[in-house]
Structure formats: structure tokens, C-alpha cells
């Protein structure tokens, strides 16, 4: 399946699935604490839920994503919510088509594990932020144990080949600091995932999905522990990972 077809199929699942809510999404709003006059950029917006959570609280939002189907879904969701201060731009995180110091707040939520070059993407974030501007980052945390971290990347990539890598908290913070972003706040949130909807969102064919199911049933003990994999009557029911929420300033 081509990448374009995959994301066209996945766009509606991202619009209606677990990405539309969660404590980590509320923390983005809380950490941003907008006063109403901010210009906001949401990088790797997917179906636009982060931008939607902020749009009514700020002056304007720009949503970027490299996938036209995702931007179309985000445009529809924000339109249905009556949001009129949004702009939609097709772009990859590593090449943001905006002048230096364009935004007061930049966000990215559950997208950075897809970035080809996290360090370059974060330098781009720092470049388009105004001095003193706020970058709010949300993504999955790798377990500290190497075996379960490698297993999580393995199954994520099998389920969705656009996945690149999940990093530890120390690694995510190091990317920020190397880009000149100073960490202000951090919080880690546990997030449970119903297995079958999570698997379906990956967009892979039935044979590949069956391989993912089999790999979960054969997971190493460290991964069963760290990801809290729940199996009932021979079927995977759920797993739980951790999301890092960071607020940093340029």
C-alpha cells in the first residue's frame, strides 16, 4: 500500500479515534496558557485536534502536515467546529515554509516519532519561534529497558512503516536543548490503547495485522511489564504506554 493511500485510509480513524482526546491534549492547553493574541503553529497536525483545542483561545493557528488527506480532514473538523482563524499548509517538519520568528507558540503532538530527522525538525521549530516563544511537545516515551524499547519500535514499525523511532525522556529533552529550547515544564501521562482500533489505524493489510497480533502474544516479559499488555482468552485486549508532555522556551 502506498503512503498516500495509507494516510487517506487512516485520516478518518485519526479524526474519530483516541487522538481526539486525552489528558495529554488538555495539558497542551494548560501549558500554553494562551491569553488570546498568540499566533500558533501546529506541526504534524494529523486530524487537527491540537490546533482545534487551541484555536478559539488564540489569534490564529497554522496547521502543517505532509499528507494532503490529513490536512483535508483537519480542515473539515475545524470548519465543523466553526473555527475561522486557521490556515492549512502542506509541509514536512524538517522544512517549515515560514520566516524566522513567526510564531508565539509551536506545538507538535504524537507526530515526532514519524519525523525523519528529529534534530533538524526541532531546529526548525526554534527558528520559527519568536524569542521567548513556547514549544509544546507531546510524544510517546520509550521504556528505559533496551529490550522492551526495541520491541516497542519493532511492533510500531510493523503496524505502521511510517514510524521512525520512539525516544526516552532524556533523549527527547536533549533534542530540545540542542535546538536552543529550554525546558520549563514536564509531565508524563499513561495512555491505554484498545488493541484492535490501534492496529487498524496503522493502515496495514490483514496479513501484516496478524503478524502484529502474533508478535504481541509473543512479547518478551519486559515488554509485557513495561507496556502493560493485556491478553484475554488468547487475544490481545490492550496495552498502555507513556506520553511525555514538554513545555520549552526559545
Give me the residue label for grid cell 484555536. Answer: 55
Q: Around Cβ 234, how many Cβ atoms within 10 Å?
A: 7
Q: What is the pLDDT, as a whole number, of residue 15?
A: 46
Q: What is the pLDDT, as a whole number, of residue 201?
A: 87
**pTM as predicted:** 0.90
Q: What is the pLDDT, as a whole number, of residue 2?
A: 47
pLDDT digits (tens, 9 = 90+) for 122-161: 999 999 999 999 999 999 999 999 999 999 999 999 999 9
Q: What is the pLDDT, as a whole number, of residue 203?
A: 84
**pLDDT mean across residues, the chain:** 92
Q: 132 in the Ramachandran plot: left (φ > 0), alpha (ψ -120 to 50) or beta?
A: left
Q: What is the pLDDT, as a whole number, of residue 136?
A: 98
**Which residues make beta-bridge pairs with 240?**
192
**Cα distance between residue 69 and residue 6, in whole Å:** 10
CA neighbor of 134 nearest in space, from 112, 110, 103: 103
Q: What is the pLDDT, as a whole number, of residue 22?
A: 75
89 within 8 A of 97, measured Cβ to Cβ: yes
First to last CA, the chain: 40
Q: Are strands 129-140 and 182-194 parallel, antiparallel or unpaired?
A: unpaired
**Cα distance between residue 231 and residue 218, in whole Å:** 11
**Cα distance between residue 59 and residue 13, in whole Å:** 29
Weakly modelled stretches of the chain, pLDDT under 70: 1-21
DSSP class of residue 180? T
CA neighbor of 45 nearest in space, from 3, 103, 107, 2: 107
The two most distant CA atoms of the chain are separated, in Å, by 55
DSSP class of residue 97? -
Amino acid at each position: 500500500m502506498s503512503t498516500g493511500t495509507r494516510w487517506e485510509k487512516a485520516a478518518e480513524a485519526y479524526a474519530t479515534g483516541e487522538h481526539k482526546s486525552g489528558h495529554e491534549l488538555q495539558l497542551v492547553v494548560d501549558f500554553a496558557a494562551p491569553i488570546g493574541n498568540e499566533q500558533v503553529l501546529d506541526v504534524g497536525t494529523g486530524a487537527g485536534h491540537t490546533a482545534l483545542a487551541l484555536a478559539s483561545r488564540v489569534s490564529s493557528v497554522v496547521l502543517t502536515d505532509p499528507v494532503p488527506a490529513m490536512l483535508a480532514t483537519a480542515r473539515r473538523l475545524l470548519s465543523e467546529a466553526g473555527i475561522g482563524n486557521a490556515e492549512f499548509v502542506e509541509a514536512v517538519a524538517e522544512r517549515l515554509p515560514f520566516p524566522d520568528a513567526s510564531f508565539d507558540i509551536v506545538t507538535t503532538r504524537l507526530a515526532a516519532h514519524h519525523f525523519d530527522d528529529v534534530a533538524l525538525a526541532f531546529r526548525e521549530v526554534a527558528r520559527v519561534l519568536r524569542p521567548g516563544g513556547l514549544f509544546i511537545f507531546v510524544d510517546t516515551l520509550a521504556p528505559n529497558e533496551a529490550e522492551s524499547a526495541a520491541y516497542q519500535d519493532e511492533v510500531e514499525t510493523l503496524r505502521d512503516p511510517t514510524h521512525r523511532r520512539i525516544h526516552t525522556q532524556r533523549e527527547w529533552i536533549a533534542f530540545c536543548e540542542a535546538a536552543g529550547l529550554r525546558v520549563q515544564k514536564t509531565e508524563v501521562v499513561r495512555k491505554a490503547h484498545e488493541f484492535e482500533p490501534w492496529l487498524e489505524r496503522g493502515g496495514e493489510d490483514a496479513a501484516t495485522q496478524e503478524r502484529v497480533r502474533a508478535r504481541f502474544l509473543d512479547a518478551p516479559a519486559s515488554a509485557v511489564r513495561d507496556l502493560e499488555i493485556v491478553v484475554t482468552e488468547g487475544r490481545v485486549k490492550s496495552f498502555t504506554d507513556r506520553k511525555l508532555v514538554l513545555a520549552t522556551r526559545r
